[in-house]
Amino acid sequence: MSAQLLLVDDEPGLREAVQDYLQEHGFTVQAASNAGDAWQMLQTRTPDLVISDIMMPQVDGYQFLEQLREDPRFKSLPVVFLTARGMTTDRIQGYQAGCDAYLPKPFDPDELVAIVENLL
């Protein structure tokens, strides 16, 4: 059975492109356009890994990650930040918040696949 991924990004074009690329590499991908929808999806199915943008409306990626880490069901769920915020201070903030990997945009999709495979 292929690994189940949850992709959270408010930018439709990027979300669809990343979803298609990951599916072409054998992953099953559920996609959400915001953290609220992603949280609802998590209540019915726990993925093997979450890929999340940081800059999203209402609940940003840091807040979403905090919700995940506070819930015993998702405390150890691997989370990859995929974001336009690529400064060193942003990456440090992501790791301090509890993300497992941080990939700044623009990115090489093969690197994302390698990160996902490494974390699974």
Q: Above 70 in pLDDT, residue 24?
A: yes
Nearest C-alpha neighbor of 18 from the set 95, 112, 93, 101: 112
Contacts of 59 by beta carbon, 8 Å cutoff, 6+ apart: 34, 35, 36, 67
Question: What number of residues does the chain have?
Answer: 120
**Is the pLDDT confidence value at 46 over 90?**
yes
What is the pLDDT at residue 100?
98
Q: What share of the chain in percent tops pLDDT 70?
A: 99
The pLDDT score that the predictor gives to residue 1 is 65
Residue pair 65/99 in contact (Cβ under 8 Å)? The answer is yes
Phi-psi region of 58 (alpha: psi -120 to 50; beta: other; left: phi over 0): left
Average pLDDT value for residue range 86-104: 92
- CATH number for 103: 3.40.50.2300
* Average pLDDT estimate for 71-100: 92
pLDDT tens track for 61-70:
999 999 999 9
Domains of the chain: total:
1
Q: Which domain holds residue 40?
A: 4-119
Q: What is the CA radius of gyration of the chain?
A: 13
